[in-house]
């Protein structure tokens, strides 16, 4: 499970904060399948 500290770092770098706010599952799926 992704903790707030880790996810916060990922969201900041990838700019997925809007996805997190909209759809967390989508963000997790993107991260799981890999971010180029």
pLDDT digits (tens, 9 = 90+) for 21-35: 556 677 677 777 665
pTM exceeds 0.75 for this model: no
Q: Where are the alpha helices (DSSP H) in the chain?
A: 4-14, 17-22, 24-33
29 CB neighbour count, 10 Å cutoff:
11
Please count the other Cβ atoms lying within 10 Å of the Cβ belonging to residue 24: 14
pLDDT at 20 over 60: no
User: How many separate domains does the chain show?
Assistant: 1
What integer pLDDT is reported at residue 28 of this predicted model?
Answer: 74
- Residues making up the chain, counted from first to last: 36
- pLDDT averaged over the chain? 64
- In this prediction, residue 9 carries a pLDDT of 74
Asked whether 19 and 30 are in contact (CB, 8 A), the reply is: yes
Instruction: Return the structure tokens found at 9.
Output: 């770092």
Domain that holds residue 25: 4-33
Residue 11 confidence class, pLDDT cut points 50, 70, 90 = low
Q: Which two tokens stand for residue 3?
A: 């903790």
């Amino acid at each position: 499970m992704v903790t707030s500290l880790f996810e916060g770092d990922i969201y900041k770098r990838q700019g997925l904060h809007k996805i997190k706010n909209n759809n967390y599952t989508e963000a997790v799926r993107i991260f799981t399948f890999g971010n180029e």
